[in-house]
Amino acid sequence: MALIDVIKYEGKPGEIVWKFPRNDISTFGQLVVNESQEAIFFKEGKALDIFGPGTHTLKTGNVPILENLVNLPFGGQTPFTAEIVYINKALIQLKWGTPAPIQVEDPKYTITLGVRANGAYNIKIVDSKAFAVGVVGARGAYSQDEVDNFLRPMIVTRLSDFLAEVVLKSGEPITRLNQHLEEASSAGKTKIQPDFSKYGIEVLDFFVQSINFDQNDPNFQKIQKILTDKFEIDALGGMYQQKRMLDIGEAAAKNESGNAGQGMSAGMGLGMGMNMGNMMAGMVGQNNAGGNSNQNDATARLTKLKSMLDQGLISQEEFDAKKKDILNSI
């Protein structure tokens, strides 16, 4: 078999790593390396010289490793055996996502929620030798999909860490993470870079594009209840306690059954509800018969508005402006 005189990349599109299929090479042969590529010589499993873009003549004068590889004269040329692996160093665009919900604890309310998230990231191989040895090994080719499968678990592993950091820094409940996607993206890049660096990879960009929660999760509903109650306290001020007493009285009045004791309790609850209703009416509308109705309508509108904010349907600025309009109308 003739010795190889010209070595060039013949990999498929999307391949990040491609190994030249033969290893019987001659000195004074040509090694062609394309732009955004590097070629690595391997001998007995060890990575030796690295060649950047250009055409390289393989001779001992400009390739120091050949002095150790070359052994015997062979028809005017000297044969040697070595493996040559091409590494593509262009920008690699990938996507990531959680295959199953990740458990993240809200540091404020110490409630754990299942979080789903997805996004995109851009990487570049900056250390070809570290990548070839640490990721590819003895494989003859390595595609972009295989790189994605290798890196994605690292992102998911770090997800709960950087999302919790964003929540802690913002001081807001975890259910409002969608309002902090930029901060989450920045924190995510910082968290995963050390893991990627071990394999010669640099994270150029990292994006968290969406964060989702199971609306039927009891823990999610607990946090929503806390936020709703807090909003009512802020909106109603001193009247919140009277409203809670009224709610309790109405609930007791509806708890009807055939048991006499419970019926008596229901009656007491009804009386309490009526008394609290009178208190509310006296406080809100002594001189305005329609005042109580306006107050109740405003409360309902504010509660709905708050729910829209929590679900990310409106921004904080839109919420503040609309809240001010509603309160001014009371």
Q: What is the pLDDT of residues 126-154, one digit of tens each?
A: 999 999 888 887 677 889 999 999 999 99
Residue among 205, 202, 245 at smallest CA distance from 119: 205
Q: How would residue 295 be classed by pLDDT, with cut points 50, 70 and 90?
A: low
Residue with tokens 């394309």: 34
Q: Is the dihedral of CA 227, 232, 234, 240 positive or negative?
A: negative
pLDDT of res. 9: 93
pLDDT of res. 294: 61
pLDDT of res. 146: 92
Q: Helices marked H in the chain — which ranges?
A: 66-69, 128-131, 144-170, 181-197, 218-236, 240-254, 260-284, 291-310, 316-328
pLDDT of res. 266: 44
CB 192 within 8 A of CB 154: yes
Residue percentage of the chain with pLDDT more than 90: 28
The bridge status of strand 37-43 relative to strand 83-88 is: antiparallel
User: How far is the first Cα of the chain from the last one, in angstroms, to the nearest whole number?
Assistant: 94
Return the minimum-mean-pLDDT range out of 109-113, 302-306, 307-311.
307-311
Can you tell me the mean pLDDT for 310-321?
A: 75
Q: How would residue 115 be classed by pLDDT, with cut points 50, 70 and 90?
A: confident
CA within 13 Å, CB half, 329: 16
CB atoms within 10 A of CB 289: 9
- 88 φ, ψ to 5°? -85, 125
Q: Is the pLDDT of residue 270 over 70?
A: no
Comparison of pLDDT for 159 and 223, the residue scoring more: 159
Q: How would residue 288 be classed by pLDDT, with cut points 50, 70 and 90?
A: very low
Residues in the chain: 330
Can you tell me the mean pLDDT for 227-254?
A: 58
Q: Is the pLDDT of residue 280 over 60?
A: no
Q: Is the pLDDT of residue 123 over 60?
A: yes
Please give the Cα distance from 289 to 281 (Å, whole number). Answer: 9
- If phi > 0 it is left, if psi is from -120 to 50 it is alpha, else beta; for residue 76 that is left
Comparison of pLDDT for 13 and 125, the residue scoring more: 125
Can you tell me the mean pLDDT for 245-258?
A: 56
Please give the Cα distance from 204 to 201 (Å, whole number). Answer: 9
Burial of 100 (0-12, 13-18, 19+ CB in 10 A): exposed
- Residue 187's identity, in one-letter code, is A
Q: What is the DSSP secondary structure assignment for residue 156, as one 8-state letter?
A: H
The torsion of the CA quartet 139, 140, 146, 150, rounded to 10 degrees, works out to 30
CA separation (Å) from 262 to 81, 257, 267, 269, 276? 93, 6, 9, 10, 20
CB 257 within 8 A of CB 239: no
Predicted TM-score (pTM) of the model is 0.63
Q: How would residue 74 be classed by pLDDT, with cut points 50, 70 and 90?
A: very low
pLDDT of res. 38: 95
Residue among 42, 37, 47, 46 at smallest CA distance from 25: 42
